[in-house]
Amino acid sequence: MAYFKEFLARIQKMDKKGFQELWQEYSAGDEIDADEYLKILLALKGSSLAKDLVIEEALFLLEKVPSHFEPLFAAIIDLQTTNDPGLAEQIYAYLEKNYGDTPHFQDKIRLVGLKARTQFQGALTNFLLLNHLQPGKFVFHNGGWGVGEVINVSMVREQVEVEFEKVSGKRDLSFANAFKMLSPLPDDHFLARRFGNADALEKEAKEDPVKVLKVLLRDLGPKNAAEIKNELEVYVIPEGEWNKWWQSAKIRMKKENLIEMPEKSKEPFSLTENLRTVEQKLEDSLDKTSRSKEFIDILYAGLRDHPQISNDATFRDSLLSRIKKISQKLSEAERLSLLFIQEDLRVAGSKELIHNFLRECTNLNKLVVSLEIIAFKKRVLVELKEARPHDQQEIYLQLLTSSIPATLREYILKENLPLMQERIQQYLINPIEQPEFLVWYLPKALADKKLPLADKMGQCALLEAYLMLMAQAEQKTGYRELVKKMQGLLFADRFALVRTILEGSSKEFVKEFLLLVSKCHSIPDFDMQILYSLAYVVYPDLNKKSRALPEEETQIIWSTQEGIHNLQEKIKHIGTIETIENAREIEEARALGDLRENSEFKFALEKRARLQAELKTLSDQLQKVRVITKADIPQDEAGIGSIVEVESSAGEKTTYTLLGPYDADTEQGILSFQSKLAQNMMGLKVGDNFAFQNKNYRILAIKSYL
């Protein structure tokens, strides 16, 4: 393709003299690359350089590429301007020989200008298009209408009826317009298959993604990852399945010699012109990096995707030589990674070297965490059984709460270590020390009855620790995302986790549950009411003893104007969007039949009751709201509308703003005056002390919000 780049450069620069000199040189060559020749001719279309070229003089070149005769012949006729009668005879003779028995042959000859033989530029291309226009065939609209399927063709009216993907309804095009705007698409063209039978293409893409990607790159040219996604997602691969499909496709493409993988994400994938072996590709990649981390990643990926390369003794020796050169100033994790790679290359003595390395390592916990490749983390756990059987169990238990992938935690759990239940129970004593582990482990214990603490008593202990953790995390900086994650798990699937644990639990536990829930101030009041209700379903007699959330039947509910607006918007949202959506859910659930055993119908009715109750409560509260004014805010003590700066006994300073329940935003330090923390501050002055959740505070300053 070297000539094509030179031609393209001269065409873009409008270098007439340079182009003609290069054309003469090209025409004098002994061998012609058919694909390159066609690209040169297509690049000339639309260029003013074409009119100065007697293009038919290049017809003799076609003798050198008989397999590509027709497309090259058509491209030359598209460019010719002489309309020489002898050339017309040549075109006619070719068409008669190859297409003389096709229907309406003479009509097509007339329509493309070969009957009069005075103006026949593009005659061969136009004839091939006419011959292609049959019901069920596909075309591409060059003006932006996309792919179209031919519905009907009328030689009498000289028009074609086509249904396009990007315009509504069927469209009629005259043959004259079709010559200008349409290009034929073979039945096996990617765009034709996508438009004509996307389901079949989807099935093939899932069975053999590389095969479909080859077709895409063959027909549409080089494409980067984003462009490939635009061509396939939704049309062929459902949106929700794209990421998984694309990851699988990339893994398979790495094993494919005919697809050139880009080094950067924005660079295109393309079909390779020259086949290169896997070994050559791997060596090329290794040559381009001098960083040890990248070297290890590339080498690991190559051996993972192409394990057969380790069978080539010469290539294996070459890789080992490279490893030896790079084995300087490496971290512990990198050194161990290279030992695993040498084992994959079947180097004698590698296993013993790995075991010695693990025996000498003083901090295996840190080593496993620092390993970049997850597969190597797992291999450490496996090799520890032989390398360090005396303390393998203790290392596993330490890793259980480390920053390791969930798959490794699950591997450790499956080992069923004798001390595991005892260790997990220790973690529950002060859950704030192992927050991520507890949040990960609780749903695991509910899903797998074979795990430690998976019985009812253990589940209750885990939920107690969970709620203790939430209450503690709410009071600490840097735990905001953890609290959100914990809320999501707690509220998921209509509080499924809470429902499961409460069912069949003891009354003593439910009492403790109610107490712990009351200490979690990040839980919204409405969700708190649901949690209380779930407890009362199990033990109804606890209802009288439970903490009743403030109803404020006779008291004023203070708010800013913005807070009132928020309340009105919430009422509007429940009364319109949520209520309508719930009505649809009820009807859909009712359609499933058998209402006695229909859990969806039951949950939908419960949701309707909750929405109606919440709507009534909020509407009643709206009648009691009063806007805070400057006159309502006390000047020398903490009250509604005050900004209070406090200091804990540990020296931590925090500022709180005390406003109404509809202004509250704990992330911004705005508390509802109804909250327990706000109530503890109300009426206090600068210098006064108060206690909250086993901590002591002193008020440093008070000022007005307005």
Residues 116 and 224 both lie in one domain: no
Q: What pLDDT, on the 0 to 100 scale, is given for residue 39? A: 83
Domain span at residue 16? Answer: 2-139
- Single out the residue of 87, 82, 83, 13 nearest to residue 43, CA to CA: 13
Residue 287 has pLDDT above 90, yes or no: no
Q: Which of 259-263, 319-323, 557-561, 596-600 has the lowest mean pLDDT?
A: 596-600
Query: Of 54-63, 278-287, 490-499, 663-672, which gets the smallest average pLDDT?
Result: 54-63
Domain boundary among 625, 645, 664: 625
Q: Would 162 be classed as within a structural domain?
A: no
Instruction: Specify if 48 maps to a domain.
Output: yes
Residue 551, pLDDT score: 43
DSSP single-letter state for residue 564: H
On whether both 402 and 283 belong to a single domain, the answer is yes
Distance of alpha carbon 659 from the chain centroid: 41
Q: Are 464 and 516 in contact (CB under 8 A)?
A: yes
Least reliable range by pLDDT among 266-275, 346-355, 575-584: 266-275
Residue type, 235: Y
Amino acid present at 168: S
pLDDT at 180: 92
| pLDDT tens-digit series, residues 65-94 | 777 788 888 888 888 888 888 888 989 999
CB within 8 Å of 626: residues ≥ 6 apart: 556, 557, 558, 559
Q: 606 and 561, same structural domain?
A: yes
pLDDT at 368: 93
Kindly indicate the confidence band of residue 184, based on its pLDDT and cuts at 50, 70 and 90. Answer: very high
Q: What is the mean pLDDT of residues 411-424?
A: 85
Confidence band of 230 (pLDDT split at 50, 70, 90): very high
**CATH code of the domain containing 577:** 1.10.287
Q: State whether 489 and 463 are in the same domain.
A: yes
Q: Which residue has the higher pLDDT, 617 or 390?
A: 390
Assess whether 610 and 690 both reside in one domain: no
Task: Say what the pLDDT of residue 2 is.
Answer: 65
Question: Do 432 and 541 share a domain, yes or no?
Answer: yes
Q: Which of 228, 233, 226 is nearest to 214 (CA)?
A: 228
Q: State the number of CA atoms in the 13 A half-sphere of 302 facing the CB.
A: 23
Domain boundary among 625, 656, 684: 625
pLDDT at 493: 85
Q: Are residues 483 and 451 in the same domain?
A: yes
Closest CA to 50 of 82, 92, 89, 87: 82
| Higher pLDDT, residue 335 or 665 | 335
Q: Is the pLDDT of residue 275 over 60?
A: no
**How big is the CA angle at 94 (ends 91 and 99), to the nearest 5 degrees?**
115
User: What's residue 84's pLDDT?
Assistant: 84
Q: Tell me which DSSP letter residue 405 carries.
A: -
pLDDT of the residue at 550: 42
First-residue to last-residue Cα distance in the chain: 75
CA–CA separation, 611 and 571 (whole Å): 10
Rounded distance between C-alpha atoms, residue 577 and residue 113, angstroms: 64
Q: Are residues 539 and 600 in the same domain?
A: no
